[in-house]
């Protein structure tokens, strides 16, 4: 299975706010589908939460729901983001 991911960020310098939000659907070692969400201030490792889902369609729907909610709250797609870039990103 391919890993599906979405990377978002919200930068508002006038509020000293630089945040990232990353969603990723992948399999763990036991074959369980996980939706992992990582969020925090750009330049940090942030927080991590992983939830198990019974099938790919349910996990993809949850990913879309979370991404849409963040976009409504002002987050934009972050095409340059990768797992390692959060700790090293300069905005």
27-86 pLDDT, tens digit each = 999 999 999 999 999 999 999 999 999 999 999 999 999 999 999 999 999 986 554 444
Q: CATH number for the domain including 29?
A: 2.20.140.10
pLDDT number for residue 85: 46
pLDDT number for residue 48: 98
SS3 content of the chain, % helix, strand, coil (to 5): 25, 40, 30
d(CA 59, CA 88): 29
> Looking at the domain assignment, is residue 85 inside a domain?
no
> Looking at the domain assignment, is residue 88 inside a domain?
no
Domain containing 28: what range?
4-78
Nearest to 39 by CA among 9, 76, 69, 74: 9
> Looking at the domain assignment, is residue 84 inside a domain?
no
What band does 3 get if pLDDT is binned at 50, 70 and 90? confident
> Looking at the domain assignment, is residue 91 inside a domain?
no
> Looking at the domain assignment, is residue 83 inside a domain?
no
Number of domains in the chain: 1
> Looking at the domain assignment, is residue 34 inside a domain?
yes
Give bridge partners of residue 20 from the DSSP assignment. Answer: 9, 40
**The pair of three-digit structure tokens given for residue 19, joined into one six-digit string:** 């945040």
> Looking at the domain assignment, is residue 23 inside a domain?
yes
pLDDT number for residue 77: 96
């Amino acid at each position: 299975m391919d890993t599906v991911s979405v990377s978002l960020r919200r930068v508002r310098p006038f509020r000293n706010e630089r945040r990232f939000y990353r969603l990723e659907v992948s399999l763990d070692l036991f074959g369980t589908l996980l939706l992992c969400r990582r969020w925090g201030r750009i330049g940090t490792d942030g927080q991590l939460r992983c939830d198990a889902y019974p099938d790919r369609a349910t996990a993809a729907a949850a990913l879309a729901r979370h991404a849409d909610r963040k976009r409504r709250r002002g987050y934009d797609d972050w095409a340059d983001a990768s797992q390692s870039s959060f700790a090293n990103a300069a905005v």
